[in-house]
Amino acid sequence: MIDALPVTGLTSRNRARFGVWLVCCLGILAGFAATANAQRQIAIRGDRLSGFVLPIEPLDGPIELTGLVADAWTVDDTKRLVIRGDVRIRVASYRFASDEAVVWINRLPSARGDINQIAVFFDETSNPAQRPGVSATGRQLLVTGSTRGEVVVDVARFNPKRPESSGIMRRGELRLKTYLQQIATGRARLQTLPQLLPDEDRPAFVPVPGEPIDPADLEL
């Protein structure tokens, strides 16, 4: 106990220094306790990936994000983007096209190098024809994955600020919130491929490279 710490034999100056040291130590410990308590109380809002490891094996390959306009901002360690106009997104060999997309990206260290985690929400996606890899067509689609490789953003106009809240942002954050809550409660299983989640009320659809994708699997 702190009351039992021996202080006999200290001069008045040393005793004063000890008191300052003790106050500092107690302040640091209180700070750690407050930080830990704050971390336990952070609500899952769907606005970030912070604190989560997506249960998906990382693929070898880049993440490429292209479009006409991108709004970009940061929430904790998560890079947020809203991309509009001729959007093309590649996650390793998986490709998606849309008019607009909401994106979350953060980075985790590992023994084999950094892992990039990504989540993307589309109101509607179309098949980027004649492109290699696996693509999909669907509506209200949340895509989650992770890769080892570079992240490239190629847009004609880049706005480094958070845009005003929009319908697609609210829908995307709600979908990501639901997915992260499943991870937090232990209901999400480890997957070896990126997940395409068309609706939280239907089971997750996991594409198989080389096999055709039935649009019915992605429709609401």
| pLDDT tens over the chain, length 220 residues | 433 333 334 444 444 443 444 344 434 444 444 444 444 456 899 999 999 999 999 999 999 999 999 999 999 999 999 999 999 999 998 889 999 999 999 999 988 889 999 999 999 887 555 454 455 566 789 999 999 999 999 999 999 999 999 999 999 999 999 999 999 988 778 888 888 887 654 444 455 555 555 554 444 3
8 A C-beta contact, residue 118 and residue 145: yes
In angstroms, the Cα distances linking 50 to 74, 79, 103, 111 are 11, 10, 14, 20
Residue 130: which residues within 8 A CB-CB, separation 6 or more?
A: none
Predicted local confidence at residue 212, as pLDDT: 52
Q: How far apart are CA 71 and CA 202, in angstroms?
A: 31
- How many CA atoms, within 13 angstroms, populate the side-chain half-sphere of residue 105? 24
Predicted local confidence at residue 128, as pLDDT: 57
Predicted local confidence at residue 199, as pLDDT: 60
DSSP 188: P
- Of 96, 101, 99, 95, the closest CA to residue 71 belongs to 101
Predicted local confidence at residue 110, as pLDDT: 87
- Of 47, 43, 94, 110, the closest CA to residue 73 belongs to 47
Virtual torsion, Cα 153, 158, 164, 169, nearest 10 deg: -20
In our burial notation (b when 16+ CB lie closer than 10 A, e otherwise), range 47-76 reads: bbbeebebebebbebebbbbbebbbbeeee
Reading the block at residue 123, the tokens are: 């109101």
Helix (H, G, I), strand (E, B) or coil at 107: strand
Predicted local confidence at residue 58, as pLDDT: 94
DSSP 141: E
